[in-house]
Amino acid sequence: MNIDGVYELIIIGGGPAGVTASVYAARKQIDFLLLAGDIGGQAAWSGDIENYTGYQFVTGTELTLKFEEHLRKYKFPIKETEKVINIFKEANIITVKTGKGEYLSKTLIIASGKRSLELNVPGEKELKNRGVAYCATCDGPLFSGKDVAVIGGGNSALDAALQFTKIARKVYMINNTPVLGGDKVMRDKLKEAANVSIINGAKVEKILGEKVVSGIVINKNGVSENISVQGIFVEIGLIPNSEFAGILEKNRLSEIKVNNSCETNISGIFAAGDVTDVPEKQIIIAAGDGAKATLSAFKFLMRN
């Protein structure tokens, strides 16, 4: 950090976008700080990844380890436990406020990603981490040989259900639309699995259990049904981690608006990856955005 206590760049987020932005910043010898809630982001939640260039097949855990290995080759400050709560800009200095302090910088890249949406049904909050979970990769092994329900019908739900075909005794896939979405190759694999029951057009009414999950109540065609499960994995979508960025322009989904150079509406502030309005949320797209954001920040620093 410079003598005046101001970094040239601060990067928020440790997922594919934040990691790639950091690697590019290190190679450009930019004086920067990485504020990473965790390394890997949503990539760490993924099961089998078959569309990341250079790997015909890799798990989310393996790819995350590769990200971290690459990141640790460079010497720069990383803070992994500080949650960003606000950002603001005065004159040419950007202030990033966390739960533990404030950091000053000339430029900022926001790569804070997204987090899981919740069902908001009775029993969910009470049984969170006691059978209700939002990451099959993280918590799936705890339910080996048990019956589980996966809620959702998109790629994240399909990925979770496919992971459970190898772990759980029985997998109920509960989807509130008439048919499953997601990639056809994933749908086909799921339909071939002997221990999967797909229930389309059903909504979750309630999660059952005293100290731990014991079941779930669903409603299909106006009829309620109790299903006995020990684990419930919610995969109904994601919401951007953008609440702290109140000074930036966002779309109706709370995604930060950027142009093709990852610039936001505030000069010197850039955004990359799933927290932005860039179409198609993919690991490789987020990584590419991270590279672009750092290159744009570097050009900004050179001009100013």
Tell me which of 3.30.1340.10, 3.40.50.1100, 3.50.50.60, 3.30.210.10 is the CATH number of domain 118-234.
3.50.50.60
Distance, CA of 199 to CA of 207 (rounded, Å): 17
Which structure tokens are listed for 21? 């932005």
Q: Say whether pLDDT at 1 is over 80.
A: no
- 135 carries an active-site annotation: yes
Instruction: Give the lowest-confidence range in 53-62, 70-79, 139-148, 164-173.
Output: 53-62
Q: Say whether pLDDT at 47 is over 70.
A: no
pLDDT band at 120 (very low <50, low <70, confident <90, very high): very high
What average pLDDT does the segment 31-43 reach?
84
Q: What pLDDT is recorded for position 205?
A: 96
Residues 128-150 have pLDDT tens digits of 889 998 888 778 888 999 999 99
What average pLDDT does the segment 207-214 reach?
96
> Residues near 120 by Cβ (< 8 Å), separated by ≥ 6?
none
What average pLDDT does the segment 244-264 reach?
97
Q: What pLDDT is recorded for position 237?
A: 85
Q: Say whether pLDDT at 292 is over 60.
A: yes
Residues of the chain with CATH 3.50.50.60: 6-115+238-303, 118-234
Amino acid at 167: I
What average pLDDT does the segment 260-269 reach?
98
Q: What pLDDT is recorded for position 3?
A: 53
Query: Of 135, 159, 262, 289, which is the active-site residue?
Result: 135
Q: Say whether pLDDT at 196 is over 90.
A: yes
Distance, CA of 26 to CA of 74 (rounded, Å): 6
Residue 19 and residue 25 in contact, taking contact as beta carbons nearer than 8 Å: no
Q: What pLDDT is recorded for position 109?
A: 98
Q: What pLDDT is recorded for position 2?
A: 57
Q: Say whether pLDDT at 125 is over 60.
A: yes
- 138 carries an active-site annotation: yes
Percent with pLDDT over 90 in the chain: 73
Query: Of 31, 48, 139, 183, which is the active-site residue?
Result: 139
Distance from the first to the final alpha carbon of the chain: 18
- DSSP bridge partners of 226: 217
Q: What pLDDT is recorded for position 50?
A: 78
pLDDT band at 45 (very low <50, low <70, confident <90, very high): low
Domain 6-115+238-303 homologous superfamily, CATH: FAD/NAD(P)-binding domain (3.50.50.60)
